Amino acid sequence: MTLKLLLITACLLTVQALGQSPSSQSTQVAPVEVKIDNFSFSPATITVPAGTTVRWTNRDDIPHTVVEDKEKFKSKTLDTDEQFTYTFTKPGTYSYFCSVHPKMTGKVVVQ
């Protein structure tokens, strides 16, 4: 019995050490990935919790940009394989587009 209790405690302690603290403000969560390819963002719409970092990767053979409609965030020009990341701290709906090919649009819903 004591050994079992010891083992269980050890396991719990290990899990707690490895896992994330829910009250932490740091973004230890892996970034949410958005792929840019074939003149489109995919997924076109994503819903994430506040504090999430989103990472766009250009897999197209043409350069693109990631620009929020009101320029709340704006990437430099991304050539093939280049990336842009942005951390969404405030809840809201963020519509963005590629300023070079404006028909390409996407949305990040932050809850």
Torsion of CA 67, 68, 71, 77, to 10 degrees: -10
Q: How far is the CB of 97 from another protein (least distance, A)?
A: 4
Nearer to another protein, 88 or 96 (CB): 96
Sign of torsion, CA 63 68 71 72? negative
Nearer to another protein, 52 or 60 (CB): 60
Question: Taking the chain, what is the end-to-end CA distance rounded to the nearest angstrom?
Answer: 45
Q: Are 96 and 105 in contact (CB under 8 A)?
A: yes
Contact window for another protein (CB under 8 A) among 8-16, 20-28, 84-92, 95-103: 95-103
Contact window for another protein (CB under 8 A) among 9-17, 23-31, 38-46, 83-91: 38-46
How far is CA 73 from each of CA 61, 78, 99, rounded to the nearest angstrom?
23, 14, 12
Does 86 participate in binding another protein (rule CB under 8 A)? no
Contact window for another protein (CB under 8 A) among 13-21, 26-34, 45-53, 89-97: 89-97
The residue within the footprint of another protein, chosen from 76, 89, 91, 93 (CB under 8 A), is: 76
